[in-house]
Amino acid sequence: MQAVRIDGKANAESVLRDVTAAGAALHKKTGVKPGLAVVLVGEDPASQVYVANKGRTAEACGFHSVTHRLPADTSQEALLALIDELNADPAIHGILQQLPLPKGLDADVVVGRIDPDKDVDGLTLVNAGRLASGLADDAFVPCTPAGCMVLLRQVLGDDLSGKRAVVVGRSNLVGKPMAQLLLLANATVTVAHSRTKDLPALCREADILVAAIGRPGLLKGDCVKPGAVVIDVGINRVPAPDKGEGKTRLVGDVAYDEAAAIASAITPVPGGVGPMTIAMLMANTVASACRAAGEPRPRF
């Protein structure tokens, strides 16, 4: 059996079409255009690429898109002052602080300064608390786990009652919110991590296996239950000497070929979860704009 390849790119395009339509409908009815502000401090090359992609996607969705590029020596006081300005700006409905920040800046303090109702990355303690309390409809959920749930719903539907789920990874950005979303969908959830004993045996119990530990190819075929659905969140760059000297390739946390021979469905890397992350950022932004305008929050 060869697993069905879950196409994250196609799913992301579908979400973005719905987001664009929702934003256009909101603007037509209320005059409100969804606004997204991205803040980048420093010259990190990967962050530069991510920020450019987010800006282009926001513009393609018809949003008011603003990018603030600050030098690496920006003080924490100046950065917090900018966050305060964006919090107070009625044309901005989503604020994204690109991470990591340069040394000397406290990411927890900066992210914590963002108005929770504009926290479209879902990283403030308020939104984390709402999700942990089962109030997902009132929360902005971190974009990567939200995108994973869209992909899972495509394969398994909305109700995961009776499904065993194992999430490998316990980060605040992916692992913990992923587990909470699975619980809300009625799955029985176990969170594993780097200190879990006999990880393969635990993973083999999973009908849904989510890999988000950041270690390339960690989960081999012996970690996959026959017929399981595998969601690979990992994005790791590894040497690819077959492509030429100094070349690299992107791989996930799952050994794809081994897992695909056993699972019923699996996300590839690249082309799986990655495209969904930006799509769900746009979805959160238009949801924030609707909330600010007193309109019902759209679902994606």
Per the annotation, binding residues for NADP(+) are 169-171, 235
Task: Select which of 97, 98, 118, 180 is catalytic.
Answer: 98
Task: Select which of 117, 119, 121, 253 is catalytic.
Answer: 121
Residue-by-residue DSSP string for 99-118: SSPPTT--HHHHHHHS-GGG
Residue 181 CA to residue 92 CA, distance in Å, equals 27
Q: Percentages helix, strand, coil for the chain, rounded to the nearest 5?
A: 45, 15, 40
**Residue 2 falls in the annotated catalytic set:** no
Checking DSSP bridges between strand 265-266 and strand 4-5, what pairing results, if any? parallel
Query: Hey, is 17 helix, strand or coil?
Result: helix
Residue 12 CA to residue 150 CA, distance in Å, equals 9
Residue 148 CA to residue 235 CA, distance in Å, equals 14
Task: Select which of 54, 118, 163, 225 is catalytic.
Answer: 54
**Residue 232 falls in the annotated catalytic set:** no
Angle between helices 125-132 and 175-184 (to 10 degrees): 30
CA dihedral 107, 193, 191, 199 (to 10 degrees): 160
**Residue 98 falls in the annotated catalytic set:** yes
What's CA 288's distance to the chain center, in Å?
17
Q: Which residues are catalytic?
A: 54, 98, 121
